[in-house]
Amino acid sequence: MDILASKRFRQICDGVWRDRAQILTGRGILSGEAALVRAAYWRLCKAGGTPGQSSDDYTPFLNELVRQYRDEGGPQLSGSNGGPVQVEPFNKVGRAPSEKQLR
């Protein structure tokens, strides 16, 4: 990811963090972490990004977003040890490999 793209994705994550109250209120069955990462993903897509091609480049920003959420006292995923979160890369249909499609 070039510096311009890196700055743009940082802005997207900052916007997600700023709008977290609304995002977390409308998350449905998703965990707080998943709702924030999903919001960042969709905002990236709307901005014309292609997360499937270089998702590893986005991981540090997504980890920071999740860390901020946890530091604020948001509920964590069950079984979490509070250590660094490893965000799974998204595949071409916008889901992490371990994420099941809802029907």
Q: What is the pLDDT of residues 56-99, one digit of tens each?
A: 778 888 889 999 988 887 765 544 444 444 445 544 444 455 55
Res 5: pLDDT:
77
Nearest to 62 by CA among 80, 82, 48, 44: 44
Half-sphere CA count of 25, side-chain side, radius 13 A = 4
Each residue's pLDDT tens digit, 16-53: 999 999 999 988 899 999 999 999 989 988 888 666 65
Q: Spell out the residues 6+ positions from residue 30 whose beta carbon is closer than 8 angstroms to its own.
A: 38
